[in-house]
């Protein structure tokens, strides 16, 4: 009882942290899933952030994404970017806006995060060709939140290089009118039929070093805990120490984001829309 209460308290203190409960009913085996946490951090001063989990059981990959600060009611293209051939890609930053137009577009960002490896659609094909299939991408709710879960079968290359991939979500709202339109940032360099706002990246996250699933969780009691909504992996803190660390990292990220936002507002302050 004491253990469980402590764990629940830790969870309450760090609600953004998603971790995966794995292997709770069986000893370690090859079938035990491996879990990886991803923190999504804003690009393009979007204010968007989120948490994602990747869980691998053999070639079955389950992807959970919870993000906010997306454009309300709009579809968000989302992908696993990167290489399964050992190239070192990573999330970009504002310096990668090589044409200095103030927008980090997908072509500029691809230099850093690599090509689309898997399109995280809600149904149907998940290949790179579905990268701009916005009709099969998740839509943000009225509050700009996206909740996504899908299990797909991936290649052995993806299994072997899962830590080299990154999640990128796309869609920004430069003119703050709650839609993608060409008035915000012109046409997309990828497809002139789409506004730039629909394809520019809004956040990116790299797989964290530690594989959560490899942390022993034997003896954890799973029954009777608070119910999670359908799209969320059962959350479980792996230890108070880890919780404190993650919480500290979280506040740092928030502080940086605030500074970035303040800087943006100052820069744009008093300017025309």
Of the listed pieces 122-130, 133-141, 164-172, 226-234, which binds Cu ion according to CB under 5 A? 164-172
Q: Which residues contact 182 (CB under 8 A, 6 or more apart)?
A: 195, 196
Give the H/E segment covering residue 65.
Answer: strand 60-68
Instruction: Pick the closer one to Cu ion by CB: 51 or 130.
Output: 130
User: Any idea which residue has 């034997």 for tokens?
Assistant: 218
Tell me which residues in 7-66 interact with Cu ion (CB under 5 A): none
Q: Does 198 bind Cu ion (CB under 5 A)?
A: no
Instruction: Pick the closer one to Cu ion by CB: 64 or 113.
Output: 113
* Nearest one of 246, 251, 258, 255 to 37, comparing CA atoms: 246
Minimum distance from residue 5 beta carbon to Cu ion (Å): 41
Minimum distance from residue 104 beta carbon to Cu ion (Å): 12
Q: Supply 5's token pair.
A: 């209460």
Minimum distance from residue 210 beta carbon to Cu ion (Å): 25
Pick from 22, 168, 198, 246 the residue near Cu ion by CB under 5 A: 168
Q: Supply 70's token pair.
A: 């997306």
Instruction: Pick the closer one to Cu ion by CB: 71 or 168.
Output: 168
Q: Supply 159's token pair.
A: 């299994």
Say whether 143 sits in a helix, a strand or coil.
coil
In sequence order, what DSSP letters do the residues of 14-43 get, joined into one string? -TT------SSSS-S-TTS-EEEEEEEEES
Binding letters toward Cu ion, positions 60-99, x by CB under 5 A: -------------------x--------------------
By CB under 5 A, name the binding residues for Cu ion: 79, 168
């Amino acid at each position: 009882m004491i253990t469980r209460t402590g764990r629940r308290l830790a969870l309450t203190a760090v609600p953004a942290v998603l971790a995966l409960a794995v292997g709770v009913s069986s000893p370690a085996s090859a079938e035990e899933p491996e879990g990886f946490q991803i923190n999504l951090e804003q690009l393009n001063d979007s204010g968007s952030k989120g948490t994602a989990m990747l869980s691998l059981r053999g070639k079955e990959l389950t992807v959970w994404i919870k993000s906010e600060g997306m454009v309300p009611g709009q579809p968000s293209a989302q992908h696993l970017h990167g290489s399964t051939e050992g190239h070192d890609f990573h999330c970009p930053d504002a310096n990668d806006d090589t044409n200095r137009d103030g927008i980090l577009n997908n072509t500029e960002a691809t230099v850093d995060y690599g090509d689309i490896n898997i399109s995280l659609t809600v149904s149907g094909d998940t290949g790179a060709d579905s990268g701009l299939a916005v009709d099969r991408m998740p839509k943000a709710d009225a509050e700009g939140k996206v909740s996504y879960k899908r299990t797909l079968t991936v290649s052995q290359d993806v299994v072997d290089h899962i830590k080299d991939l990154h999640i990128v979500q796309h869609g920004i709202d430069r003119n703050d009118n709650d839609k993608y339109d060409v008035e915000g940032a012109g046409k997309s360099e990828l497809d002139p039929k789409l506004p730039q706002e629909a394809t520019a990246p809004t956040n990116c996250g790299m797989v964290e070093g530690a594989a959560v699933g490899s942390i022993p969780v034997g003896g954890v009691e799973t029954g009777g805990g608070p119910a999670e909504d359908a799209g969320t992996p059962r959350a479980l803190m792996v230890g108070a120490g880890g919780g404190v660390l993650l919480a500290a990292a979280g506040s740092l990220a928030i502080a940086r984001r605030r500074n970035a936002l303040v800087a943006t507002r100052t820069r744009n302050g008093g300017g025309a829309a």
